[in-house]
């Protein structure tokens, strides 16, 4: 397996949310809307700007998203993305960025297993786990 990518479903706010994540993490962001698809002629005009596929590439990590246009999106805690950070500065920056407008579920700190860890429910009701392994940093 090369990698696993996360994908979020939004209620019409995919472009805004993935742009927010780009502001948090950096990376390259692309979108495909309903207007860019063969279904554009069968799509109501008010739905042409909905994102059918958004992709944020940050190094070897990809976060995808789309606007759900086939009913109600049910939010929950069944999907969580864990960001494995490479430094204390990085985890602190990402944690603080994601916390803007969101809710801290588990404050960032050194946990009993020895890693720096924290959990955010962001302003789009998506759960993010952030981890920085504090062990064996002498290599």
Do 17 and 52 share a domain, yes or no?
A: yes
pLDDT of res. 51? 95
Taking only the tens place, the pLDDT of each residue in 62-83 is 999 999 766 677 777 667 899 9
Output the CA–CA distances (angstroms, integers) from residue 45 to 9, 12, 40, in the order listed. 21, 14, 9
Q: What is the CATH number of the domain that holds 15?
A: 3.10.180.10
Q: Same domain, yes or no, for 12 and 48?
A: yes
pTM of the model: 0.81
Q: What is the pLDDT of residues 91-124, one digit of tens each?
A: 999 999 999 999 999 999 999 899 999 999 999 9
- Overall number of domains in the chain: 2
Half-sphere exposure of 137 (CA within 13 A, CB side): 11
The domain containing residue 87 runs over which residues? 80-132
pLDDT at 90: 95
Position 30 scores a pLDDT of: 97
Q: Is 61 found in the same domain as 13? A: yes
Structural domain includes residue 72: no
Average pLDDT over the chain, rounded to whole?
90
- Residue 73 domain-assigned? no
Find residue 67's DSSP bridge partners: 10
């Amino acid at each position: 397996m090369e990698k696993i990518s996360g994908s979020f479903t939004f209620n019409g706010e995919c472009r805004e949310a993935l742009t927010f994540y780009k502001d948090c993490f950096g990376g390259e962001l692309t979108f495909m809307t309903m207007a860019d698809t063969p279904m554009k002629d069968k799509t109501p005009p008010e739905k042409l700007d909905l994102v059918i596929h958004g992709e944020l590439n940050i190094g070897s990590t990809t976060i995808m998203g789309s606007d759900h246009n086939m009913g109600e999106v049910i939010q929950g805690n069944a999907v969580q993305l864990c960001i494995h950070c490479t430094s204390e500065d990085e985890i602190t920056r990402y944690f603080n960025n994601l916390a803007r407008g969101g809710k801290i579920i588990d404050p960032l700190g050194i946990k009993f297993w020895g890693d720096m860890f924290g959990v955010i429910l962001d302003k789009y009701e998506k759960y993010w786990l952030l981890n920085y392994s504090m062990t064996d940093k002498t290599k």
